[in-house]
Chains A and B, each alone.
Chain A
Amino acid sequence: MTEAEQQVADAEDVWVFIEEHAGEVMNVSWELLAEGRTLADKIDEQLVAIVIGEDVDDVAEEAIQRGADRALVADDPVFEPYRADPYGTQFRHMVEEWNPSIVLIGGTHTGRDFAGRVAVPTWAGLTADVTKLDVDEDGLLQAKRPAFGGNVLATIVCEDHRPQMATVRAGVFEAAEPDPDREGEIEHVDVVVSEEETISEVIERVIGDTADITDADRIVAVGGGAEGDVSPAVELAEALDAELAASRKAVDEGWVEASRQVGQTGKTVRPELYVALGISGAIQHLEGMKDSRVVVAINDDPNAAIFEHADYGIVGDIFEIVPQLVEAIEAGAELQEVAQ
């Protein structure tokens, strides 16, 4: 048996990276813990939480409560705030030491930033942006990811290398709930990086200045039909207590900031309500919003593709329809207040 074959044969356990920033855990990590639990049970192996940061014992404890059998903790000031090089080097060291079979990382900017720094030196298979996971009885991970506009789901497998790594989209799985009675083992590991060896430095970090449309319950999105004036969308978003979003066209034209773009080159959203104003419905846009629960489209082109992907549509000019809609919503809200 070659060394690589031995590595595949010996690999075991499902690892989940618990992403935290200054003690705050990203929800996607708890989502992955739930999915990781299912995979680990299927192949009868352990679920291991990987916790990297400073003073993160509470995070490790919570990971145990939310389903991990063990937590491996690398605790050091060098890990706060996050940087690709120390995280990558430490995680790689842990992978080489324990030879996990499966490694799941949230598909956040952080996860996507350092995953390659682990996968490359360990010659691991890394699948990006996974939305569905399964494992067969031999422990072969089936990582599914949307391809080409999202109406095709590609299954990516990694037969000859370990670990089988995946970055997984946020919001796809339900988060694991904590059980305070659950017990597990917390192990502190050797920290193999030091501040002197790092090749980057975080000068400042400001959180809270960027809209995160991925968590919004309601979204009003605007497209080319706005022709430079997005005020109807802004007003409707206000009336509905929704986040403003946009198609690529509206972002390319500079009407709306890039962090609010929905679609293949933007963000994936799954709100309860998605209102598309003056959006034609290109597949790249649909890819980003198709999991919304209820979709409403307003567009003056009755043949716009968006109507085929909407629950309710109004054919008409957004500059006429939206003010009426805002008025009707506000009138309804007043009625409700009176009724209460």
Chain B
Amino acid sequence: MSNDWTIVVGVKQVPDSDEVTIDPDTGRLDRANAPAVLNTPDRNALEAALALRDEVGGEVIAISMGPPNAAEVLEESVAMGCDDAALITDRAFAGSDTWPTSYTLAEAVKYFDADVVVCGEETTDSSTGQVPPGIAAHNGWAQLTYVEELEPRPEENQLIAVRDVEGGHERVAADLPVVVAFAFGENEPRPASLHRKIYAENDFEPMELTAEDLGIDEDDVGLDASPTQVGGMDTVSPVDRKEQIVETPEELIEALAETEVFS
């Protein structure tokens, strides 16, 4: 087989978590007014994918599952250097939890005949981290999560990763095809060059893929196919803090002595 790899990167549009504010009256989060942005850990995934392409050769295709306006994060991915991009969009997908979401993405990466799929470690809006292992599980592929470094071995048809594990690290070799969840902040995402930006904004249109295009039965996706449902939301009252301002380090130490943290 050719050494060129088809690398697919999963990206997601999320509310900008820096702009999510707390409504002072209700204590509830106001996310409706937060602008939609590319999920920050996905930048690390994009960089990891582009770096793999630089080493091995091949192409990087960004995919995103979402409503039509999610095309913006695909343009951003193309500006950063992705060769192509596809928006996976269909009303049938609405309300999907991580099970049908990872199923849809699993079908999409098969559609592109991916050798390697790279995702961010988790999304800042739902923080489950379940979609990358879910894609791997749906396809019966290998997975590498909490990855900090990648080392391609095209001649062996393998990808080696340094993974963060509790209290240490491990190096794991996985057979292709493989799904990678790249750890947040572990590489330096490259900036988009000006000419790529202009190309992405003016000349590029991501292709659109529907459930039918991917051969997905509508009964297997969406709200009804999702095993989990949100049963309710409770506001958590913040921990009551003393909020006492002291003037000097000595006063602080006295106050802390009373709390017995210096026992």
A and B interact: yes
Residue numbers of A with Cβ under 8 A of B are: 21, 26, 81, 83-85, 88, 108-110, 112-117, 119-121, 123-129, 142, 144, 146-161, 199-210, 212, 218, 251-252, 258-259, 261, 264-266, 272-273, 282-284, 290-291, 293-296, 307-315, 321, 324-325, 327-329, 332
Chain B residues closer than 8 Å to A207, beta-carbon distance: 165-168
Considering the complex, give the chain B residue whose CB is closest to the CB of A126: B130
Q: Give the residue of A84, A157, A310 whose beta carbon is less than 8 angstroms from that of B229.
A: A157
Main secondary structure of the interface of B (DSSP, over half): mixed
Given A113-B145, A148-B125, A265-B124, 6 extra CB contacts under 8 A: A154-B233, A155-B230, A307-B245, A311-B241, A312-B246, A324-B248
Chain B residues closer than 8 Å to A128, beta-carbon distance: 98, 127-130
Does chain A have a CB within 8 A of B261? yes
Give the complex CA separation of A124 and B183 in angstroms. Answer: 26
> Are the C-beta atoms of B252 and A314 separated by less than 8 Å?
yes
Q: Give the residue of B18, B165, B229, B245 whose beta carbon is less than 8 angstroms from that of A205.
A: B165
A321 to chain B, nearest CB (A): 6
> Are the C-beta atoms of B238 and A123 separated by less than 8 Å?
no
> Are the C-beta atoms of B185 and A127 separated by less than 8 Å?
no
> Are the C-beta atoms of A264 and B229 separated by less than 8 Å?
no
A129 to chain B, nearest CB (A): 6
Give the complex CA separation of A252 and B183 in angstroms. Answer: 13
Which has the most chain A C-beta neighbours within 10 Å: B130, B134, B232? B130
A67 to chain B, nearest CB (A): 23
Give the complex CA separation of A158 and B225 in angstroms. Answer: 11
List 30 contacting pairs A-B, 8 Å CB cutoff, sorted by A.
A26-B166, A84-B133, A109-B145, A113-B145, A116-B134, A117-B133, A126-B98, A126-B130, A126-B228, A128-B128, A147-B233, A151-B22, A151-B236, A152-B233, A155-B231, A155-B234, A157-B228, A160-B227, A200-B172, A202-B170, A210-B169, A258-B186, A264-B127, A273-B261, A307-B245, A311-B259, A312-B246, A313-B244, A314-B247, A324-B248
Does chain A have a CB within 8 A of B28? yes
Give the complex CA separation of A311 and B250 in angstroms. Answer: 16
Does chain A have a CB within 8 A of B242? yes
Give the complex CA separation of A291 and B232 in angstroms. Answer: 22
Does chain A have a CB within 8 A of B5? no
Considering the complex, give the chain B residue whose CB is closest to the CB of A282: B18
> Are the C-beta atoms of A202 and B169 separated by less than 8 Å?
no
Give the complex CA separation of A156 and B228 in angstroms. Answer: 6
> Are the C-beta atoms of B171 and A332 separated by less than 8 Å?
no
> Are the C-beta atoms of B22 and A283 separated by less than 8 Å?
yes
Does chain A have a CB within 8 A of B141? yes
> Are the C-beta atoms of B242 and A204 separated by less than 8 Å?
no
Chain B residues closer than 8 Å to A212, beta-carbon distance: 166-167
> Are the C-beta atoms of A265 and B41 separated by less than 8 Å?
yes
Give the complex CA separation of A146 and B97 in angstroms. Answer: 16
Q: Given A109-B166, A112-B145, A328-B250 in contact, is the A129-B243 Cβ separation under 8 Å?
A: no
Give the complex CA separation of A258 and B253 in angstroms. Answer: 30
> Are the C-beta atoms of B170 and A309 separated by less than 8 Å?
no
Give the complex CA separation of A85 and B133 in angstroms. Answer: 10
A226 to chain B, nearest CB (A): 17
> Are the C-beta atoms of A108 and B166 separated by less than 8 Å?
yes
Does chain A have a CB within 8 A of B207? no
Chain A residues closer than 8 Å to B124, beta-carbon distance: 264-265, 284
